[in-house]
Amino acid sequence: MKTFTLPATDLVVPNVVLGLMRIQDKTDDEVRTLVRTARDAGITFLDHADVYGTDLHGCERRFAEALDLSAAERTEWVIQSKAGIVREGPYFDYSYEHLVASVEGSLDALRTDYLDILLLHRPDALVEPEEVARAFADLHAAGKVRAFGVSNHTPGQIELLRRYVEQPIVANQLQLSITHAPIVAQGVASNMQGLDQSISRDSGILDYCRLHDITVQAWSPFQAGFFTGVFLGSEKYPELNAVIDRLAARYDVPPIAIATAWITRHPARMQVVLGTTSPERVAGAALGSEVPLTRAEWYELFRAAGYTVP
């Protein structure tokens, strides 16, 4: 498993992350098997959120109940959580009180004294950056959060935060897969009149993150679109799956590893966030971190997914 030091922190992180958004109804043994499989594959980064689960902090609590990490074991993991979504309304809340309360709730549910990283979970149209800055400052000073980031934010939204927030923004969690890759595809087809792919929908967020040492965390890396089902093995993507299967055979890995490798091959050193609860799929996806796709293979996958390469 390839690792790197997260910019502006001393955190050494792998480029594959285990997301734990679907473990609420899993047994202790199932959760332990999932996490230990990830660890055996070199994954030491866990992604949580306060809203994951049937109740608030549900998946965080389920994780802690199943693993019951000792203080020494806790240091072996990078644990990230997210805050800001209020499911029953008002939908988003980046107030000082809400962010601090959410972190306190996550710490209690996870049975830990600190989060390695806290992300703002989707943009809040009513954000008051001074409130966010105060929350980040107090959480950091108290040792409750080591680093901060965002999720699904645009360059302008991040710039607004950076004007007030003292701590570096170290990560931005964005949807990305071979078939859902506008953050990559637009630049390839820039200035091509009449081509939908050339339209910028994100103000150049990928290049912005690279320029400012913000690690992109790719969520839904195997989803065809916005929760429309996976593209792997789908009859809707015969050409793409034919290429994936051929490359999987060439590199002697499962197809899911090729889907991972397409993201980790990018020089932006992005992280792939796995949302599966299947230990087999976790282990298979992790293998993609070491697959050295050539430029020709990367672009062949890109074109087979339906994108234009001028």
- Residues designated catalytic: 52
Residue 37 CA to residue 297 CA, distance in Å, equals 29
The dihedral region occupied by 230, where left means phi > 0, alpha psi between -120 and 50, and beta the remainder, is: beta
| Contact between 160 and 203 (Cβ < 8 Å) | no
CA–CA distance, 125 with 93 (Å, rounded to integer): 9
State both tokens at 44: 């030491």
Q: What token pair was written down for 87?
A: 């499911």
| Chain-centroid distance, C-alpha 155 | 17
Q: The tokens of 157 are what?
A: 């939204």
> What gap in Å lies between CA 153 and CA 59, rounded to an integer?
24
Burial degree of 152 (CB within 10 A; 0-12, 13-18, 19+): middle
Buried b (16+ CB within 10 A) or exposed e, 33-70: bbbebbeebbbbbbbbbbbbbeebbbbbbbbbebbebe
